[in-house]
Amino acid sequence: MKYAPSKWDPNQYLRYSDERERPLWDLLGRVRTVPVMSAVDFGCGPGTSTVAIASRWPEAQVVGIDSSEAMIERALAPEALGTTNEDAGPPHVTYRTGDIATWRPAPESLDLVLSNAALHWVPGHTDLFASWVAALRPGGTLAFQVPGNFDAPSHTMLAELAASAQWRGKLSGVAGTVEAHHPLDYYRSLRDLVSDVDVWETTYCHRLRGDDPVFEWVRGTALLPYLERLNPADTSDFTSRYKALLRSAYPKESSGETLLGFRRVFVVATKAA
């Protein structure tokens, strides 16, 4: 069960790194496991979340795993957000290229399993929770957050455009490549596996600047599976039409900002000590 898309652009993803990083710190702030000596970061991307775990728990051995070789290469780059390569970097942070849907940690080998904005790319990810909880030591934590904004104009307009007569032949089924669940369903999927489940939602007000900033945001994530299906000429036409739709849905404020409301779902599940 590999998660899509396959061609990530770390530079585009990090264009709004501050906005993307805030939910990570909000998630880490609710983790109560002490001590954390070993952790895995599922879908680590360019290493931002992996480094954040290592900063929060300096004694922990932290492994970042991502299916994208480009993302792992960025995480290993010396200049990347404070990370360094394995030869020169801290010995307690390492990275691996792999499919998080099939990676199985050893039983009771971890204090923390974390995933920041990645599980929605993994079909059937709730079925993986039992094996991840089994990998936790007593008192360990499974913590993750996923986008909850798939009913926002940025996503509904994209799906509607892809389903239009001009594009449905080339883009059929792309809109169904993500999977995120209602907060109560996440609670139900975990309540019998752990001793405590904390689930909440937060809607962030991102104040973006520049030309077509919502398009630039989405181009680093949700738009990627669509673009992978299109040739250069089609890409130009499709993105031009999508930009026009986004401008109508997200008009520029008098301040010059464009406001993007972004809802996220957070889950912190703690195993019995």
Q: Is 9 a residue whose pLDDT tops 90? A: no
Kind of pairing, strands 136-147 and 196-208?
A: unpaired
Instruction: Report yes or no on 148 lying in a domain.
Output: yes
Per-residue pLDDT band for 91 (boundaries 50, 70, 90) equals low
Instruction: Report yes or no on 16 lying in a domain.
Output: yes
Structural domain total, the chain: 1
Tell me the residue ranges of DSSP E strands in the chain: 38-42, 61-66, 93-97, 110-116, 136-147, 196-208, 258-270
Instruction: Report yes or no on 246 lying in a domain.
Output: yes
User: Closest Cα partner for 53 from 139, 112, 137, 140?
Assistant: 112
Instruction: Report yes or no on 60 lying in a domain.
Output: yes
Look up residue 259 and give its two tokens.
Answer: 């406001």
In what helix (H) or strand (E) does residue 240 lie, and over which residues does it extend? helix 232-249
pLDDT at 178: 84
Summarize pLDDT for 167-203 with one digit per residue, the tens.
999 998 887 678 999 999 999 999 999 999 999 999 9
Instruction: Report yes or no on 5 lying in a domain.
Output: no
pLDDT at 12: 79
Instruction: Report yes or no on 117 lying in a domain.
Output: yes
Domain that holds residue 146: 10-270
Instruction: Report yes or no on 4 lying in a domain.
Output: no
pLDDT at 86: 43
CA–CA distance, 161 with 245 (Å, rounded to integer) = 9
pLDDT at 89: 46
pLDDT at 83: 40
Concatenating the DSSP letter of every residue in 89-147 gives S-TTEEEEE--TTT--PPTT-EEEEEEES-GGGSTTGGGGHHHHHHTEEEEEEEEEEEE
Q: Is 19 a residue whose pLDDT tops 80? A: yes
Summarize pLDDT for 111-155 with one digit per residue, the tens.
999 999 999 999 999 999 999 999 999 999 999 999 999 999 999
CATH of the domain at 103: 3.40.50.150
